Amino acid sequence: MTDKLEFIIIQLPKIIEDEARSELIDWLSFLENPKSERVKEKMKENEELNEAVNKLEEIIKNK
C-alpha cells in the first residue's frame, strides 16, 4: 500500500443504528438492498437517494 491508496471495508450487516449517522445508514442500506422498506421510506425525504434508486432502475431496464 502507498499513501495514495486507501481501502475502507464496511461490513453492512454489522452497522449499528445511530441517529447521528442516519444519512450514512440510509446510503449503506441502499447499497445492501435498494428495494428495502427503509430505502423506500427515506426516498420521500432524500432527493439524492431518490435519484439513485431511479437511476438504478433505469440501468436495470436497459440491460
C-alpha of 43 from chain center: 11
Q: What is the reported pLDDT for 44?
A: 94
Q: Can you give the residue ranges of every domain in the chain?
A: 21-61
Q: CA 56 → CA 30, 33, 48, 50, distances in Å? A: 11, 12, 12, 10
pLDDT tens string, the chain, 63 residues long: the values are 567 888 888 777 776 666 567 888 899 889 999 999 999 999 999 999 999 999 999 999 987
Query: Model pTM greater than 0.75?
Result: no
Among the listed residues 41, 18, 59, 21, the one whose alpha carbon sits nearest the alpha carbon of residue 49: 41
C-alpha of 61 from chain center: 20
Q: What is the reported pLDDT for 50?
A: 95
Q: What is the reported pLDDT for 2?
A: 66
In the chain, DSSP finds a helix count (H) and a strand count (E) of 3, 0
Q: What is the reported pLDDT for 45?
A: 93
